[in-house]
Structure 1
Amino acid sequence: MNPIYKAVESLDWITIVLFFSMVVLALGKYLFQSRFWNFMILPFNNRYVVLYNKKGQLLNWFHILLTIFQLVNLSLFVFLLQKDLFNLSSQSPVQYFFTIMGVLVLFQIIKVLLQFTKGFVFNTMELVSELSFSKITYLNYSSLIMFISNIVLVYIFKDSKIVLYTALILIVSINLIGVAKLLKNHQKAIISYFLYFILYLCALEIAPLVIVGSYLKD
């Protein structure tokens, strides 16, 4: 009987990535316990956004830690998504993961800078700050779903399309809840700047999603 060579993909780097994100989340919970528990009930109660949506909250350490957690898990989720549903790049898995993370970090930084530039030009800085904080907060919350789905996809149900699609539905649902509450809470301000809001949606919300979707398909 001739031996059959079987390549086994190493999961060590993914374990390190998930452990790092878990440490970041635990650090946020430990340092900001009250804020953390308000954050945990976000989709069911908008208290977190109401309490903490003030000037400068984007640079708050709890928000920064949760954004790091989000970027790490979003990068890994996109990596697993493209690996399981599309053709994975010829790059090594680790290199490809960090490429994805670099693109996502750069994308979010440029997006926030453009938002605040628009706010400065049209004198809507306060509104832009509140909108940015609310949207990022809901995206950060949806990263909890990404974290759980990443663990399930890597260690339990490997390459499961059902898990991927379920996670995608939950992630989109959470962010749609955030958008609905944002529109409800700021409807008067949005109506006052309706033209600017439409330009904002087209340039900074819809267009990036089209670009990212095209990238994933290609």
Structure 2
Amino acid sequence: MLREIISTEIYTVLLVLCLLLVSITKLLYPKRFRDFASILINYRYLKIYARDQKFPDTFEALLFSNLVIGISILGFVSYHLNSHIDPSSQITLYKLAFAILIIITVKILMERLVSSILKMDSIISEYLFVKISYKTFIGLLLIPLNALLIYTLDVTQTIIITFVTLLLLINLIGILIFIKDNLRLLKNNLFYFILYLCTLEISPYFILYKLITK
């Protein structure tokens, strides 16, 4: 039982930091945050803000930071179930967070580069916006989920798999919505889009898995 065998101090600090990042985002962008928070039931956010997207974007940067911290906590707690690492090791947790940050950032930059090379800037730009929006929404959900794992639930593989499956389904929803809304356009670039997905959606996660297991 995680909450009984390790100090939760570092997790508490990180969860408070996540709440602070989300609060700042809501304070700076109240209307946009309201639209964003209902992204699962209302596509208003995607339709409005996809047209005005900027890179980098402060709104996305704040929520992206929350996402990285949330994934790091979940990944660290999950990996502890099947490893000999010290579950209270701050250094290991920070290394994991840094690795996740670098991989996701490099992945986004590579996606933009590849879209330019394949001359699919407009469609890939919209795809990235949808994908990042759903991923940062997952970051919001990770705050209560991680709190449950750390302070309430007995951490088991079944619980971890359930949480991860739920988060992956939400991410899949975003991809399916994009495909549905751009099906006609994608048909003309189907080969390149499939190549894009295989190269930049699957391989980075395989690399991240290898880094974590080492």
1:198 correspondence with 2:194 = yes
**Matches of 1:173 and 1:106, distance apart in 2:** 24
**1:58-69 correspondence runs (5 A):** 58-69=55-66
Counterpart check, 1:12 vs 2:16: no
CA contact (8 A) 2:6 2:88 kept: no
Whole-Å Cα distance in 2 between the matches of residues 143 and 69 of structure 1?
Answer: 6
Residue identity over aligned pairs, in percent, reads: 24
For normalisation by structure 2, the TM-score amounts to 0.90
Give the SS at the match of 1:170.
helix
Give the whole-Å Cα distance in 2 for the aligned partners of 1:80 and 1:30: 31
- For residue 26 of structure 2, what is the amino acid of its counterpart? K
**1:34 CA displacement:** 0.9
Unmatched runs of 5 consecutive residues or more in structure 1: 1-6
TM-score normalized with structure 1 length: 0.88
For residues 143 and 92 of structure 1, the distance between their equivalents in structure 2, rounded to whole angstroms, comes to: 22
Q: What residue in structure 1 maps to residue 42 of structure 2?
A: 45
The residue that corresponds to 2:185 in the other structure is 189
Alignment counterpart, residue 83 of structure 1, candidates 70, 80, 84: 80
- Matched residue type, 1:132: L
2:20 maps to which of 18, 23, 34: 23
2:203 to 186, 204, 207: 207
**How far does the alpha carbon of each residue in 1:114-159 deviate from its partner, in whole angstroms, 9 at most, with x for none?**
1111122122212221111111110111122221111011111142
Asked if the contact 2:131/2:174 (under 8 Å) is kept, the reply is yes
Between 103-112 and 162-171, report the one with greater CA deviation. Answer: 162-171
Q: 2: CA distance between counterparts of 1:201 and 1:112? A: 13
- Structure 2 vs 1, CA of residues 99 and 88 (structure 1 numbering), >3 Å: closer, same or farther? farther
Give the secondary structure class of the aligned counterpart of 1:45: coil
- Distance in 1, Cα, partners of 2:133 & 2:68: 12
* Distance in 2 between residues matched to 1:159 and 1:8, nearest whole Å: 12
Give the total of aligned pairs: 211
CA pair 20-72 structure 1, distance change in 2 beyond 3 A:
same
8 A Cα contact 1:28 1:65, kept in partner: yes
Bigger RCO (CA 8 Å, 6+ sep): 2
Q: Could you say what the CA RMSD is over the residues aligned between the two structures, in angstroms? A: 2.1
CA deviation vs aligned residue, 1:41-77 (integer Å, no higher than 9, x gap):
1111111111111354342211111111111111111
The answer to whether the 8 Å contact 2:70/2:139 transfers is: yes
Structure 2 stretches lacking a partner, 5+ long: none
Work out whether 1:170 is the aligned partner of 2:156.
no
Distance 2:127 2:26 in 1: 24
Taking a change above 3 Å as real, the CA distance of residues 55 and 31 of structure 1, as seen in their structure-2 partners, is: closer
In structure 2, how many angstroms separate the alpha carbons of the residues matched to 1:188 and 1:88?
50
- 2:6–2:87 Cα contact (<8 Å) kept: no
Code of the aligned partner of 2:10:
W
User: CA offsets per residue over residues 148-180 of structure 1, 9 Å max, x none?
Assistant: 111011111142444323311210111111111
Residue equivalent to 1:98 = 94
